[in-house]
Amino acid sequence: MDNGPECSGRRSQFLYRMTPFADMTGLGIRLIYYPPYHSKYNNIERYWAGLEKSWNGYLLESVATVINRSCKFTWRGIAARSMLVKTVYEKGIRLYGKEKKNLEKRLTRSPSLHWWDISIRPKTVFL
């Protein structure tokens, strides 16, 4: 994963949202982050750099133009699928004390890469 500020291993808001996802899907999730300042190894960053270059000279005057241009871009044979998401990402979720401790109980952090290798197991339901 990108180690950006919105989804870093220190970001309880992001991790708090990932735990119900693990429970809902029944999937174990392992988050492995790129080290800080290593975006050159992240293919998403390379893809975005290529997309930005392809936009050079185009007037991006509307959402439709941006979506159409991004849908036509390919990088290493990979084509993007673009759409407008109108859902607002809720901000301001903070975890304190007991909530934060409960969240940390759900996480398994690597002893040597504490912030950069995190596993989340789904809750086991006994019927």
The stretch 75-84 carries a mean pLDDT of 83
The per-residue pLDDT for range 23-64, each reduced to its tens digit, is: 999 999 999 887 766 666 777 777 888 888 888 888 889 999
CA–CA gap between residue 124 and residue 95 (Å, rounded): 23
Cα three-residue angle 108-111-112, rounded to 5 degrees? 130
Q: Which two tokens stand for residue 49?
A: 């750099």
**Residue 54: strand, helix, or coil:** helix
Q: Which residue has the higher pLDDT, 4 or 50?
A: 50
CA dihedral 90, 94, 99, 103 (to 10 degrees): 70
Quote the tokens at residue 87. Answer: 């859902």
* pLDDT tens digits, one per residue of 82-119: 888 888 877 777 788 898 899 999 999 999 988 889 99
The pTM of this model reads 0.62
Q: Is 74 in a helix, a strand, or coil?
A: strand
- Judge contact between 120 and 106, C-beta under 8 A: yes
What pLDDT does 4 receive? 67
> What does the domain layout of the chain look like in residue ranges?
12-120
pLDDT of residue 78: 81
pLDDT at 92 (0 to 100):
72
Q: Give SS3 for 30.
A: strand
